[in-house]
Structures are given as C-alpha cells and as structure tokens.
Amino acid sequence: MFTNKEEFINEFELRIAEMYGRSVEQSHRTEKYMALGEMVREYASLNWKATKEEVAKNEDKQMFYFSMEFLIGRLLTNNLMNLGIYNTVKEGLQELGIDINELEDLESDAGLGNGGLGRLAACFLDSLASLQLPGNGNCIRYQYGLFRQKIDQEGNQVEVPDQWLKLGNIWEVRKPKHAVNVKFWGHVNVSQDQEGRFHFDHVDAENILAVPYDMPVVGKGTKETNTLRLWSAEASDILPSNKDFRKYLAEVQEICLNVYPDDSTPEGKILRLKQQYFFVCAGLNAIIRAHLRVYPNLDNLVDKVAIQLNDTHPVLAIPELMRILMDDYGYEWMDAWNMVVKVMAYTNHTILQEALEKWPVDYIRNLLPRIYMIIEEINNRFQNKIAIEYPGDSDMAHRVEIIRDDQVHMANLAVIGSHSINGVAKIHSEIIKRDLFKDFVKIYPERFNNKTNGITQRRWLYYSNPQLTKLITNTIGSDFIDDFEKIEELMNHVDDKNLQQEFLHVKQQRKEILVEEIKNRTGILVDSTSIFDVQAKRLHAYKRQLLNVLHIIYQYQRIKSDPTYTIHPRTYIFAAKAAPAYVFAKKVIKLINKLSVVINNDPAVKGMIKVVFIPNYSVSLAEVLMNAADVSEQISTAGKEASGTGNMKFMMNGAITLGTLDGANVEIDELVGRENDVIFGLTVEEVAALKPYYRARNYYDNDPRIHNAIDSLVDGTWSSDPNEFKVIVDDLLYRNDEYLVLADFDAYVKAQEVIEQKYLNKEEWAKSCLVNVAKSHFFSSDRTIRQYAEDIWHIRPIKI
C-alpha cells in the first residue's frame, strides 16, 4: 500500500492501466473514480482482515446492529479522512491534474433509509469503528435507495428512482460463500421422535438465496475496521416446483428493489414483511455460522453476541433466533428463551400510534408458518406468567398481549423478547415509560433505559465544516479532534470579541457556499447577509413545517399591509421529502414552493423575505445546509419527536435552536441555557391538558393573523385554483388541527421576534453560537455508543 504521494501516483497509474488498459490522461472521470475507490477499499481491507482475526483470537464479544435502514451518504471523503490519507491522495491527484472534489462528487449517496432513524444507524457505525468497538451493521442491499425528489413547474414533488448502484458500489465485496437460504410460505410438519421430542419441518417452502455484500467501516485514527453487511436476494438452487420460473424470479427481485418510502405508516404489507424477515433470517444465520467457526457450540452465544434492534422492523429476529436454537440446534424452549432475551435489545423510536407496527395474523402465519407458531407460544407463555403474577387483572393481560385483535403487535414482542428497551432522548424515554409501555414497566422495570441519540462529529463537523474546525483548532488546539469532550474548552473563549468576529466570518463563508449550492439547485439567488432560517427534515404533520409556513404568510401579509413594518432580511430555507402517498405532506411542499414564487417576486417585500425549497434532501445536501444555518427550526408538537438528530447537527455548527421542549431539544436547552436558544410553545404536559378541550376554530375566529393567513390558502393568493390547498385548511379547521399548530402560533411569532432581536446584537449572537458549539460534545454519537457499549452490549475496545 502507498505511504506517500509518489507511491500513490505510481499505484494509481498502474491501477488505471490494469483496470481499463489506458493511461490516466485518456481515462474517463468515472474510471478514475472507480480506480481510486478500489484502491481505498483495498487499503481498508488489510485492516479489515486484521480486525476479524483479532476478534476471533481474543474471543471478543461483538455487537450486530440490525436496522432496515442505513442512511450512509457518501463514503469517499469520509474513508480517506478516517484512514488519514486524504491529503496524500488529494495532492497525488492534483499532480496528475485531477481535482479530488470532482471525483468526490461522482459518488452517489447510499440512501438506504428514510431519515433520522437510518442516519442514526450510520453515525453509530462510524462511532463504533472509531472507538475500536467490534460492532457491525446488518441491512438490505436495496437496488434503489429512497426516491430522488424533483420539483415540477407547479411546485409538486415528483419521485424519481434513486439509481445509486449505476456506477457500481466501490465499497462492497460480494460474499457468495456466506449465502443463506431463506424460506417463505409452505407449511410446518410436526413429528415426534422416539425420545418424545418434537420436530418441526418447514415443507413446500419457497426458497430464496440471501447473498451478502460486505462494506468495510473504517474508524478514524484506528486500524479497527468493522463490517456493514447488506443482503441481496437471488434465486435459490431449490426452485419452487409449482411456480413459473419468471414469476418466481420477479418475486425474488422485488424483495430488495427499494427502501420503503414511508417511515410512518406500514403499507404494501406483505412485501415489507418479506423484507424484514429476509434480512433478519440471513443476518442471524450468518452470525450463528460464524460463531460455530470459532467455538464448538452455541452455549456461550450470549457472551459473544449482542444484537440491537433498531425500532421494531427487525423484531422477527426474536422468534427467528428461537427457531434456530430449538429447531436447528436442539435447545429446549426455556434455555433458548433465556439466551434470546440476553442477546436482544430494542430501541424504540416513536410513540405515534400510526407508526407502531402491527401485522395481521394471517400474513405472518402464511408467509412464515414456523415463526408464527413461535410467536404464538411466546405470547401464550407470557400470558400465563401475567395470569400468575397479576391475578385478577385481566385488562393488563389484554394490554400486553402480542397477538391481539388478530394482529401481531411488534413493539410488545420486542419488549418481551429483549433484556433492554431504550428510548432515544431523556423526555422520550420518560414518555414511553409513562404511556406506551407503562404495563411493561411494572413487569420488567430493570429493562427500561435512555440512550440519547448522537451524531458523528467527524462527518458533521470536521469533514463538512473544515472552516469552523480550523477556527476551533486555532483557538483551543487540536486535542478536541480525538477527544471531543475537550471542545468544551471553547467556553473559556466565548466572550473573546476577536473569536466572535472570526466565528461570524466562518459562518459567512459557509453561507456563501450554500448560496452557490442554492443557485445551482434552484436558480434562486439569496442574500448571504440575511438570516438563514432553516427547517430541513422529513415532511410530516407533527414536525409542523406548516407552523413555519403560516408565520411566513403572516409576515408577508404584514409587510404588504403596513408600510412602516420592517424586518431584518430573512431567508427561509426548507428541505424535505414527503412519503409519496402522504397527501397532506405533499400539499405543504407545494405550498412552500408557491410561497417561494409569489414572495420572492413581489417587489413590495423589498428583499426582506425570501423563501427557498431545496429539492432532494439527503445526507450530502445536509452536509452543506446545516453548517450554513443561523437558525435551526425544531418546532414539533411537544411529545411527538422522539429525539431528532438534525437539531444536533445544527447546534454543533453554531446555529441557534428555535424549538419546542421536545425530544433532544430539551437536553440542548439544559446544556446551553435559555439565553443561548429560543424555546417556545406548549410543553408535553400542557399539550395533554389542552387536547380534550381544544377547538382550533376559536384560534381562527379570535386571532386575525391566523384568520388572514388561513384565508389566503383558499383565496387565490398562492394558487389560481382556490381548492388547491383546501386539504390544509380542512386539516386545521375541520379536523381540529391534530398537532396544535394554531395553539402554538402566537408563541411562535413572539419567539421569532426574539430571534431577530438577538441576531441584531452580533456579538451576543456569536457568543451564543459559540456556546452551542462548545456544548455539543454531549451530542456526539461517541458518547451515545459508549453508553450502549457499557450498559447494554458489554463490549470492549479491541487492540490491533
């Protein structure tokens, strides 16, 4: 492997010649990119091999993170940086006349997820490797990632397939040797042998071959290299006898075709269920086989393997591991069950009723007959336990049932089959204990805990914001790079006027980079000296982009009607994808785009407001968006956002949070203090108290600002078709505004005024931003992962 620039150049030239039979000069850009990618992967592979050998030799316990989603983004920069060879490669390429940025831009985002949940999994992988912890990902190799979003002439979201594999995935290695057979459909024959033991034979099943593609996960400043294993469905050698081959093949290909473009409501159920079992079954069987290559049997499995279930999507791992232990390896029920519970841990990500997974009994019984038998047995045994421990409380027994009203309740299965259940922010963990899982807290109080989410400062600060990283280094030295808690030393300098000026200068640089990006992506020119007020996240009613929109409409109307009213120029920036079937969310996107056209082109506004919707929110967009923000909009209805991680990315880059006391905003507020953020709106308790009496109509009738803003939605201001935005009005007034947008409107207007006042005092503003940066180490996923490793997984750093 190359160790300096000259060696890199030689190897690169050789590689291009070997792969494409050409000189570097004659090779195409994509060929250069592929060659470089291959070199970097090989570079990582040496450490990969060493890591695996070391784990086996030391008999270390390993963790496997089972997640339907890994929103990884691009890896070239990240891997070059983490490997510490970025500058060598950059300079080598430069000498060959190649701009490394051009090659970086050729990489497609690995968009194997919807949003926060998938990005969390990706940040966790980076932290695991960087902390030298043996922790691996298990997921699906989706042919297409989450759709790419385009905006048409009318402002509508248009979904375009995300062909992320078009150039191939330079990071993956196909491992056909480790393929696993996965069985669907068919039925189970039960028989008894001479010793009276039962045997379960899954017959007439449709077999599908799961083939793993492994991606190395390289940590920073370590040789430790973990694995993200992505499973791909292929035709099995055992073909179904009763089905046309082409039909079978189409069904096989469908399994990994795409990411489910909906993170709130389960749809297309059977296929989604297939996906879930597919990657869980494959992942578990591979883990068992790997274990048996090192150890004589599975008796010590719980000492060597921990599995974290990211939400309920992979919860079939619980009955599947039972199946493997009992049917394949002869363990008795109780022994198997004790092992399963010790291996499994579950993370809850939502309390939204519509997002809690429930499967019709028929679906599971038909698609996964043996798994269904096991779920039934888990349910029966648990019901017996409750009958004994809580005699007379039949209501409790009913509430904790896994199978209830002909549906399988996955969250209940998860809680019963895991030794640890965690929420993802302090307030969220309290809410799930108080509401969603309150019965289970009585039964298993010791299982519940909190692990506040985090983000990797490497991607979200060092690599995406080198300007700020350099400023911090110049101020407190570079120790914080490897020991991120040290960034708090910045607190000793937040009053330094010079530093405040330099911070504002860095922010200005980042804003100008975003201005360029906005121009390229939308054609809109924005003023980099205006306040950049950013709301970037999935579009969902509970996240209340609509509250932001109503406030913009109010300001716009006020500017038009009151010539003396002026505000500091503000650019309202949105980025959000809506689930394709989510009508309300798509209307809000359209409305934002209409606002943008009307307001940006209205001379009466005198440049005081601009509205920008940047299409196709993704990790690579977030990398230029978050660090250019002045204001971070985190305005969900209190109690609805489990944690949020976008809020952390903004904070780490010195944006001021404008938020409700929801999710991790609560902890941000505790850390930075009320003078360094702007908190508004109903609290969780106030929401609960108001709900039974809430009448949205009263707010419309009594507050002319609300009245006028809502009326504008149906009077042709934003669309020549007055019915265009009627669904939004209906949602607010006739469906009584489920997320209390109108109830928080007044508080939000006032909070926005506070933001402006604060911003006008530049030095105080810069100081607040610096406090946010200094306190952000708490939201490093390194902190989160250390807590998981210590409290739940019991894994230790490995030394190579």
Ligand X SMILES: *Cc1c(COP(=O)(O)O)cnc(C)c1O
Among the listed residues 74, 220, 511, 538, the single catalytic one is 538
Decide if residue 617 touches ligand X (CB under 6 A).
Answer: yes
Closest of 716, 713, 700, 717 to residue 560, by C-alpha: 717
Q: Which residues of 58-97 are buried (b: 16+ CB within 10 A; e: fewer)?
A: eebbbbbbbbbbbbbbbbbbbbbbbbebbebbbebbeeee
Q: Which one of 114-122, 332-340, 558-566, 703-711 is the stretch in contact with ligand X (CB under 6 A)?
A: 114-122
Structure tokens at 266: 């389960």
Rounded Cα distance between 253 and 233, Å, is 7
- Which single residue is written with the structure tokens 């006027």? 497
Q: Assess whether 543 carries a catalytic annotation.
A: yes
Q: Which H or E run contains 267? A: none
Query: Which long-range contacts does 167-170 make (Cβ < 8 Å, 24+ apart)?
Result: 167/30, 167/33, 167/34, 167/106, 167/108, 168/34, 169/110, 169/213, 169/215, 170/33, 170/34, 170/37, 170/38, 170/40, 170/41, 170/107
What the block records as the tokens of 534 is 């950013």
Selecting among 119, 577, 649, 767, the annotated active-site residue is 649
Residue sitting closest to ligand X (CB): 646
Q: What's 636's DSSP letter?
A: P
Considering beta carbons, is residue 115 or 261 the nearer one to ligand X? 115
Stretch touching ligand X by CB under 6 A, among 167-175, 564-572, 582-590, 611-619: 611-619
656 φψ region: left (φ > 0), alpha (ψ -120 to 50), beta (else): beta
Stretch that binds ligand X, among 5-13, 111-119, 157-165, 439-447 (CB under 6 A): 111-119
Tokens of 199: 């045997």
> Applying CB under 6 A, does 149 fall inside the site for ligand X?
no
Catalytic residue among 543, 544, 577, 640: 543
In single-letter form, the type of residue at position 432 comes to: I
Residue 679 vs 706, nearer CB to ligand X? 679
Query: Is 645 marked active-site?
Result: yes
Contacts to ligand X from residues 63-82, by CB under 6 A: 71
Q: Which of residues 192-221 bind ligand X (CB under 6 A)?
A: none
CB of 644 to ligand X, least distance (A): 4
Residue 175 designated active-site: no
Rounded to whole angstroms, the Cα distance separating 502 from 508 reads 10
Among 15, 74, 119, 313, contact with ligand X (rule: CB under 6 A):
119
Closest CA to 86 of 173, 8, 15: 8
Chain positions 668 to 707 lying near ligand X, rule: CB under 6 A, are none
Find the shortest distance in angstroms from Cβ 111 to ligand X. Answer: 8
Which one of 645, 657, 660, 717 is the catalytic residue? Answer: 645
Place of tokens 């195409």: 28
What's the min distance (Å) between Cβ of 576 and ligand X?
A: 9
Alpha-carbon distances of 784 from 173, 317, 483, 717, rounded to whole Å: 29, 24, 14, 47
Q: Catalytic residue, from 349, 428, 447, 705: name it.
A: 349
Of 223, 313, 511, 537, which one is the catalytic site residue? Answer: 537
**Which range touches ligand X (CB under 6 A), out of 76-84, 595-603, 615-623, 696-704?**
615-623
Q: Which is nearer to ligand X, 220 or 537 (CB)?
A: 537
Segment contacting ligand X by CB under 6 A, of 285-293, 359-367, 594-602, 614-622: 614-622
CA distance 571 to 707: 24
> Per-residue x/- mask for ligand X, residues 618 to 657, rule CB under 6 A?
xx--x---------------------xxx--x--------
247 is catalytic: no
Comparison of 323 and 538: residue with beta carbon closer to ligand X:
538
Span 538-567, contacts to ligand X by CB under 6 A: 538
Which lies closer to ligand X via its Cβ, residue 283 or residue 615? 615
**C-alpha to C-alpha distances, 20 to 26, 98, 517, nearest whole angstrom:** 10, 17, 34
> What is the binding site for ligand X (CB under 6 A)?
71, 115-116, 119, 537-538, 617-619, 622, 644-646, 649
User: Which residues have a catalytic role annotated?
Assistant: 349, 537-538, 543, 645, 649
